[in-house]
Structure 1
Amino acid sequence: MIRRGVLGVLGIIWLIPVYLLLVNAFRPSTEFDASKIWVPDSNLGFFDNVKFAWEAAGLGPSIASTLLYSVASPVIAVVIGAMAGYAIVVLRLRAGFWWFLLLFGGTIFPTQMLLIPLFLGYSSADLYDRRLGMVLIYTAVCVPLAALVMRSFFTGVAYTIYEAARVDGATVWRIFWRIYLPLAVPALGAVLILSFVFVWNELLFGLTLSQGETVRPMMTALLSLSSAYSGSTVPVVLAAGIIMSLPTVLVFLGAQRIFARGLALGQF
């Protein structure tokens, strides 16, 4: 009984920001009053707010670019991470643990430390404000997590499977693509979901390495709505935020079983 009560109180506390978000996002943009944020408005202006945000921030091209980054980069990253885990665990790469530390060690540095070097490097390599450059940086950021999970997963796979396949004449690549990768589908699914959500909601790299409407990620375009020169009000920004958050919510709801299973098998 006490446990349910505590969970109920925590649930209410968690839902308070959601309530404020919904109430003020559905409010007409011209009727926002900071002293009445708790009181719903009888006039609904949600769709007008979304329309204004869509036109003012140019969300269409940004959403298309973000969808490209959120799908392409995680897919490439999980394949590279699976290859790294396969080489370290199954092929027993010499000094494999140190290679893994080198691969995963970049995550110990704060993201803010990387922004200036990345900006200078992208500018000199003609990757600034290009979709290819954004795919590359998001792939690089997602690879360490994929390598960590796949290394843990492959550690739990019996090595005799690899030995038996080699005795039957299968090549190293064939074993990876036909045996180990299909076995790792749940873990791969969990990493894909986490990476998708991260790239979809990422702001710093998009703000630093892109500028044009057809290249910049969605969160960067959304940030422009809250500037002093955009002419947007709080309900407009909140309505746009709800629309931008829907894909991640739908992904989690639609793939929650795969995600939970992948968490258990990946052992993170």
Structure 2
Amino acid sequence: MYGSRQLVRKSVLILLGLAWLAPVYLMIVNAAKPQDSYLSSSAWAPSDFTGLWDNLQLAWTKGHLGGGVASTTLYALVSPALAVLIGAAAGFAIVALRLPRGFLWLAVIFSSTVFPIQMLLMPLFTQYVKFDLYDSRFGLVLIYTAISVAFTSFVMRNFFAGIAPQTFEAAVMDGASTWRIFWRIYLPMSVPALAALFILQATLVWNDLLLGLTLTRSEGVRPLMPSLAALEGNYGGTTIPVLLAGGLIVSLPTVALFLAAQRFFSRGLALGQF
């Protein structure tokens, strides 16, 4: 009985894995097809991959993805790092410093997620134009940091709640300042949770289309996803293999990030109580 259950469980997991990998297979196979043979063959039929390099080059040059990669890399590194530090500081203040009405402050911070971002686009756009933040890298770093702080604060508050209060009290007795306790004790203890949060928020920023499309105009500032969308919208002659090759370029960095930091991510999911 136990062996049959294990077999059924493994079979279900294998089927789910194949279903998840099917879109990835379709993207790679069709991105590798020469443009003149795409319509004459089945989408599921693999090719000899002779057109992959040409399609990648066309997607990179016609879509101006180089500037998008540089800008998005900046946004995906700076904004999540700032959000993680701010969220850790908020969680530390609420839990370790026992901020008066700490739960109320957490609710205020987390209330920013109540309204969908689509409702805020128009006032956000008008205020960005008014304060000269529109089409600027600083403006995008600012909004990406702001939308990430709520989740990081919530998770870090839960993480710090699992640390014994005696840790903070012992450090105070030894003469450590609040800043030193936070920087030298609490942050090193929360590295797995911080790393997992950074990966999640970096992926969120990397895959953003709506904010980048609304708040930017120039190619040097615009993130990668709007640049990829422009590849389809601005160039009527762009074929499906070229578009899929652009999608492949966009997807590879996040996949590499998850694979490189898989151990930190798994530990952070367990310790951070997501």
Please list every run of 5 or more consecutive structure 2 residues that lacks an aligned counterpart in the other structure: 1-6
Deviation larger for 159-168 or 71-80: 159-168
SS at match of 1:39: coil
Counting only pairs closer than 5 Å after superposition, residues 59-78 of structure 1 correspond to structure 2 as: 59-78=65-84
Aligned to 1:96: 102
| Corresponding residue of 1:40 | 46
For 1:171 and 1:40, how far apart are their aligned partners in 2? 63
Amino acid at match of 2:71: S
Match of 1:106 among 86, 109, 112: 112
Stretches of structure 1 that go unaligned for 5 or more consecutive residues are: none
After superposition, the C-alpha distances for 1:104-145 in whole angstroms (9 at most, x for unaligned) are 111121111111111011000100000000000000011111
Identity %: 55
- Secondary structure class of the residue paired with 2:206: helix
- In the aligned structure 2, how far is the partner of 1:200 from the partner of 1:245? 9
Amino acid at match of 2:89: M
Specify the code of the residue in structure 2 equivalent to 1:176: F
State the secondary structure of the residue aligned to 2:175: coil
Relative to 1, partners in 2 of residues 1:55 and 1:90: Cα closer, same or farther, differing over 3 Å? same
Matched-pair contact (CA < 8 Å) for 1:24–1:235: yes
CA distance in structure 1 between the partners assigned to 2:221 and 2:257 by the alignment: 23
Partners of 1:66 and 1:142 in 2: how far apart? 16
> In structure 2, the residue corresponding to 1:223 is in which secondary structure?
helix
2:182 matched to 1:172?
no
Local SS of the residue matching 2:179 = helix
> Are 1:249 and 2:255 an aligned pair?
yes
Equivalent of 1:224, from 200, 225, 230? 230
Q: Distance in 2 between matches of 1:143 and 1:34?
A: 49
Render the CA deviation track for 1:127-170: whole Å, top value 9, x for unaligned: 00000000000000111111011100100001111111111111
Q: Which amino acid aligns with 2:44?
A: W
Q: How far apart are 1:72 and its partner, in Å?
A: 0.3
Counterparts in 2 of 1:190-209, with a 5 A limit? 190-209=196-215
The whole-number CA distance in structure 1 between the counterparts of 2:61 and 2:52 is 14
Measure, in 1, the Cα distance between the counterparts of 2:111 and 2:40: 45
Contact 1:224 1:230 in 2 (8 A): no
Aligned length: 268
Deviating runs (4+, > 3 A) in structure 1?
none
- Give the equivalent residue in structure 1 for 2:216: 210
Root-mean-square deviation over aligned CA pairs? 1.3
Q: Distance in 2 between matches of 1:28 and 1:37?
A: 13
What aligned pairs does 1:11-90 form with structure 2 within 5 A after superposition?
A: 11-33=17-39, 36-42=42-48, 44-90=50-96
- Verify the 8 A CA contact 1:122 1:128 in the aligned structure 2: yes
Question: Residue 136 of structure 2 corresponds to which residue in structure 1?
Answer: 130
Letter matched to residue 250 of structure 1: A
Q: Identify which of 235, 241, 244 aligns with 1:235.
A: 241
